[in-house]
Amino acid sequence: MKTALITGATSGIGLATARLLSQNNFALVLCGRNTEKLAELKQELSEVVPVETLDFDVRDQDLVKQKIGSLKEAPFHEIDVLINNAGNAHGLDPIDKGSVEDWDAMMDINVKGLLYVSHAIIPQMRERKSGHVINIGSTAGKEVYPNGNVYCGSKHAVDAITTGMRLDLNPYGIRVGAVNPGLVETSFSEVRFKGDTQRAEKVYQGYKALQPQDVADVILFAVTRPPHVNIADLTVMCTAQASSVVLNKKA
Ligand code: 8X3
């Protein structure tokens, strides 16, 4: 049985991935900020596989280190698969009108948070000369769209960091890849628009967006390939979407 650690496991893509991996015999370390949801999830999924939960904000470097360092018992002490999923968007404003707090949040969570978690786990993978890291990027990491500025910047950083990780960890036989989703119907837009539910709902109206389960299917595929196969970079969009800026709402 392999052990997977998932950040941002209490909602959206992370939650769907946790459920799907539990059905596919992965022991799970589920990480998030919402302790209540983590507890519920532990109760639900530990009926199927061993589950441990860690509550931390990926922005808190010391806490990340401490919580991940507390995983001492089998099967949680060796992380075979790290899924760096925690991330979000704050605001959708032109660069001259953006808020510095929003920029900080996106860079701190999407970029630095991913690095803190990776920093806490990669050494054990290197020591064992095995492991698999999946970073959840975005189509926004491939293409910049109007008003996406800093969010797209953070996801472009994830894209570059994924390549960097793959290069640097190659000597140790550690697989590194990215899954880059386009529009996925989650609380993503509600967070981006700070609880403006109407504006958030509009993002997904008039076409069929990807569902979290669709992305979880892709992640499962990536983490269940034979040892000599590494899905290095995979972009997934809904059929209605041709790029970050071309969306056929009638499709
Ligand atoms: C989420 C997709 O198009 O809102 O990363 O940037 S998009």
Atom of ligand 1 nearest to the CA of 192: 4
pTM above 0.90, yes or no: yes
Among residues 81, 55, 76, which one has the least CA distance to residue 67?
Answer: 55
Percent of residues, the chain, with pLDDT higher than 90: 98
Q: pLDDT, tens digit, for every residue of 22-77? A: 999 999 999 999 999 999 999 999 999 999 999 999 999 999 999 999 999 999 99
**Mean predicted lDDT score pLDDT of the chain:** 97
Among residues 11, 80, 67, which one has the least CA distance to residue 40?
Answer: 11
Q: pLDDT, tens digit, for every residue of 112-160? A: 999 999 999 999 999 999 999 999 999 999 999 999 999 999 999 999 9
Atom of ligand 1 nearest to the CA of 241: 3
Task: Judge whether 116 lies within some domain.
Answer: yes
Q: What phi and psi, each to the nearest 5 degrees, are found at residue 178?
A: -120, 145
Spatial contact of 133 and 82, defined as CB atoms under 8 Å apart: yes
- At residue 251, the pLDDT reads 57
Task: Judge whether 11 lies within some domain.
Answer: yes
Q: What phi and psi, each to the nearest 5 degrees, are found at residue 186?
A: -140, -165
Task: Judge whether 132 lies within some domain.
Answer: yes
Split at pLDDT 50, 70, 90, the class of 249 is: confident
Angle at 249 between CA 243 and CA 251, to 5 degrees: 90
Task: Judge whether 84 lies within some domain.
Answer: yes
* Cβ–ligand 1 contact at 182 (below 6 Å): yes
ipTM of the complex model = 0.91
* Terminal-residue alpha carbon distance, the chain: 41
CATH code, domain with 48: 3.40.50.720
* Cβ–ligand 1 contact at 183 (below 6 Å): yes
